[in-house]
Amino acid sequence: MKEPVFELEHVHMRTDRGGHVFRDLNLKVEPEQSAVIVGSSGCGKTSLAELLVGLRFPQTGEVKLFGETLQRRKKRVIRRARKKIGGVGGPFGLLPSLTVSENITLPLVIAGERQKLQRERLLRMLSEFSLLKVAGKYPENLTRVEYSLVQFARAAIANQPLIIIDEPSAGLDPKTYRRVFEFLVKVALSGRSMLILASEPIGREIPGAVTYNLVNGELA
């Protein structure tokens, strides 16, 4: 039996000032499933993404990723888990010192993939997300739409089993968001899992996804 993609058990987390971010938060996503978390700005959506990549840790409770518990002192476990995650938005910003092409191929570089494979997949991603003309640019020279699309291309290139997307429609016009949504559907149908964090309902159904509302640190 396969381990859940990720699991949060009885997670309590406070802000630096002592306020509650999460109160007894429980969430489990199995392989080939996804979760959509809807909540207002400041409710803790980005904090949830940071928990799953080991940037933050709960006061109590457990965060598991691919069967391994993420703990502050277990740096090797965190690095291994991060290699299995693609991300958009929130803690997954582009590296300003790398070009568009270099940002997109970064997951493959980290995974030690052959350069020929890197070039083949890069060309496919640049074409699929209409980024060929900006391949040599740096993030500071991109429009908001281009910046977002580069993140989606980077999240797609390595076929990682989990993609975390913080505000999928951020900076996108309606036409571009429709393209992105088609990408999300394709990811779900491929058997990969997603955690989608959104301030408003995403408008259409993702295959295999369950939608939750995050209110006062709890899921409903």
154-194 pLDDT, tens per residue?
999 999 999 999 999 988 999 999 999 999 999 999 999 99
Domain ranges of the chain: 85-160
Phi, psi (rounded to 5 degrees) for 144: -60, -40
- If the chain, 220 residues long, is cut into consecutive pieces of 10 residues, what is the mean pLDDT of each piece? 91 85 95 96 93 94 95 92 94 97 97 96 97 98 96 97 95 91 95 96 91 93
Say which amino acid occupies 210: V
